[in-house]
A and B are shown apart, each in its own frame.
Chain A
Amino acid sequence: MAESVAVSAPPAIATRGLNLWYGDFQALFEVNLDIRQGIITSLIGPSGCGKSTLLRSCNRMTERLGYVRTTGSIEILGQDIYAPEVELVQVRKQVGMVFQRPNPLPLSIRDNISFGHRLHARGQRVSRSGREELVEEALRKVLLWDTVKDRLDALATELSLEEQQKLCIARLLPVKPAVLLMDEPCSALDPKGTEAVEELIRELRGEFTILIVTHNMAQARRTSEETVFMLIGKVIEHGPTDDVFLNPQHRQTADYIEGRYG
């Protein structure tokens, strides 16, 4: 499916000279990154190297903290998201995020899914059946429909963690984001849940550009076309996953992959 994207299409995410400080502490150094549209890219690197920070910059989640300062630029689909005319809400609509700990809203399963749609469908009348369809479509896409179709009014917080995480992915779909950021989406799950969510992520490939942070090397190899390796706030290596794993260009990449950084 990646082939269907024209070669001239802008990258889904393009950062130029991105620096980020938490107060006096610099967490990102001159990050230049082009994430191709329509594929899955893994972001790997030791704990504290700035993976989550980079991810959160891509939908401007970092700016809530008063002491964060950013320089450089981030373009999503060719649009500079820090440009003054850009609405934060539009950025967040285009760039959805899935967190490490599943965070369903304390609402019913149905309301979790239609929440995003309701936010943006203001004024427009959406028929009940239209909304039902939307809920079903989103849940089918995350392979959750068959397990929850009989209890759509149950609280989403009562689902299993695996189901919750799938729901968290599903509720982004009606908002129609172009990019999905996933910050260790499987690390709170058991092996079976991990496998299920991983399978789901592969299903979504092509329809969304997915950038996924993971500590699981096997997962990175199984799911992603490209891999980015970071170390203390810098991008060290970025290339096709097989190249990065089998034939790394940098010493540090090889060391990390072989487990010498823990």
Chain B
Amino acid sequence: MTSASEQLFAGTSLNARDRRVEWLVRNLLGLMTALLILPVVIIMTLLVVRGGPVISWEFLTTAPVDGMTAGGIFPALVGTVWLVAVALVASVPVGVAAAVYLSEYAPDNWLTRAINLAIINLAGVPSIVHALFGVGAFVLFFRFGTSILAASLTLAVMTLPVVIVSTREALQAVPRAFREACWNMGATRWQTIRRIVLPNAVSGILTGVILEVSRTSGETAPIMFTGAAFFLPFLPQGVLDQTMAMSLHLFVIATQVPDAPDALPFGVALVLISMVLAMNALSIGFRVYVRGRKKW
């Protein structure tokens, strides 16, 4: 007995070779992962080390002065909040409604499939193309001029496909059996959606929206021709005003203001990336919270 089982587990030459390959593959894959993380670590370190000293309460709450070589970033910060907020107001209702229609009402036919395909492709359109579309449609055709409204609508169009896709995923994560259960008690489509589908999908939808916000706040191309200004000492008073924005401000001081202090762009970038990371953290936290109290 003992000898038989010893034989079963005894090492062979093949085993030794397998072990070597295993070691090699594991380390190679690990190395690739390290290479992937490295740039992120370097960027963050650089930003914190070089941009950190610039950050102060004053930096966050005052306007740039001396040809943008000194002062703070307050108008850009406020402008980005404006742009993102108006873009959300425009894109979320439309996107969620479209996703509900596509997922809950639309019949499963070639037209629906074509629309779904179009939405996915729309998500792949480069942002500079959206920018040109925004100029043509909102700035010129609808005569909004270069304004927060035109820039935000451009951002909204750009983010719409992502809102639709993430909402649809959240809706489809709600088991079909729940819908059938409701229909069988004589619930209408809408009663089913309102009482069961949406309440169970809302956290997933919010997660998608928050991720959307973080992405939108960093976009530069779509806003630079449609509503974002190089320098404006005043805060925007309404949606038809132009505004400064964090992303464009960073681009400007890094490339167009040669005598800006070296640390300044790093500081602006650090604030921008902190905004994005904070949003992402919020979104991840949400997801963890929701997964924790999932009811099925």
Contacts and interface: CB of A to CB of B under 8 A. Distances in A.
Contact of B177 (A65, A90, A99, A119): A99
A157 interface: yes
A61 B180 contact: yes
Interface in B24-72: none
A59 B184 contact: yes
Contact of B191 (A59, A67, A119): A119
Contact of B185 (A66, A67, A101, A116): A116
A238 B295 CA distance: 43
A66 B295 contact: no
B182 to A, nearest CB: 7
Contacts of B195: 115
Given A61-B180, A99-B180, A92 B186 contact: yes
A103 B177 contact: yes
Contact of A119 (B107, B186, B295): B186
A96 B178 contact: no
B114 to A, nearest CB: 13
Contacts of A96: 184-185
A105 B181 contact: yes
Contacts of A89: 186-188
A98 to B, nearest CB: 8
Contacts of B184: 59, 61, 92, 96-97, 172
B142 interface: no
Nearest to B108: A66
B172 to A, nearest CB: 14
Interface residues of B, number: 22
Interface residues on A, range: 20 to 34
A168 B181 CA distance: 8
Nearest to B186: A93
Contact of B178 (A59, A67, A92, A106): A106
A106 B186 contact: no
A155 interface: yes
A175 interface: yes
B140 interface: no
A230 B168 CA distance: 39
Main secondary structure of the interface of B (DSSP, over half): helix
Given A59-B184, A65-B108, A171-B185, A106 B295 contact: yes
A50 interface: no
Nearest to B184: A97
Interface in B156-212: 175, 177-178, 180-188, 191, 195-196, 200
B109 interface: yes
Interface in A89-124: 89-90, 92-93, 96-97, 99, 101, 103-106, 115-116, 119-120
A157 B185 contact: no
Contacts of A119: 185-187, 191
Interface in B81-111: 107-109
Contacts of B141: none
Contacts of B186: 89-90, 92-93, 116, 119-120, 175
B23 interface: no
B200 A106 contact: yes
Contacts of A61: 180, 183-184
B180 A105 contact: no
B181 A103 contact: yes
B296 interface: yes
B189 to A, nearest CB: 9
B148 to A, nearest CB: 41
Q: Closest 10 CB pairs between A and B?
A: A116-B185, A106-B295, A93-B186, A103-B177, A66-B107, A66-B108, A92-B186, A66-B109, A97-B184, A103-B181
Interface of A: 59, 61, 65-67, 89-90, 92-93, 96-97, 99, 101, 103-106, 115-116, 119-120, 155, 157, 168, 171-172, 175
Interface of B: 107-109, 112, 175, 177-178, 180-188, 191, 195-196, 200, 295-296
Given A61-B180, A99-B180, A120-B186, 13 more contacts: A66-B108, A66-B112, A89-B186, A90-B186, A92-B187, A93-B186, A96-B184, A103-B175, A103-B181, A105-B196, A171-B181, A172-B184, A175-B186
11 contacts: A66-B108, A92-B183, A93-B185, A103-B181, A106-B296, A115-B185, A116-B185, A119-B187, A168-B181, A172-B185, A175-B185
